[in-house]
Amino acid sequence: MTASYPSFLPLLIGVVVGAVTAFGLVGYGFSAIGGGGPAVVARRGAALTGALAAIAYVWGLVSLFLDESGTAQACLDANPSLYGQVNEYRVSYLPPALDCRLSSGGSYAAAVPGFVTPVMTGCAVIAVTLALIAVAEHRSTATRPS
């Protein structure tokens, strides 16, 4: 059975960077509640949804870290009926995932909750959309004649 176990250093770096990013984006998003035009509201919304994406990412990495020493146990806990067919473990850091590969060619997820990737992706898409709206709104107000 071949294995690819999560490495401590990438997990630690990802958790620290994700936590600092989330903290900074929350601080920026809540820095001045109320007031401001549509561009300001869109910027704050982008910051807060970006923070949610970072929090979901950290959640996934922490889930991997908690199962670092028990990769086989995580695969067993996720699907006991298929565990006998597992011949390999694969770890992904973006998005955070632990795949238990089967000898028949399939795989199933373990350790990381199933909602992490959709929440992370959805929040990132919303954050980018709001940031683009903020930029467009800022440009349109900057070019309006007074």
Q: What is the CA 11 to chain-centroid distance, rounded? A: 13
Output the pLDDT for position 72.
80
Helix extents (H) in 30-115: 38-66, 71-78
Give the range of the structural domain holding residue 39, as residue numbers without chain letter: 2-143
12 membership: H or E segment, kind and range:
helix 8-29
Q: Give the CB-side neighbour count of residue 35, counting CA atoms within 13 A.
A: 4
Its pTM stands at 0.84
Burial of 76 (0-12, 13-18, 19+ CB in 10 A): middle
Q: What is the CA 77 to chain-centroid distance, rounded? A: 23
As for how many domains the chain has, the answer is: 1
List, for residues 67-89, the tens digit of each pLDDT value: 655 678 888 888 888 888 988 88
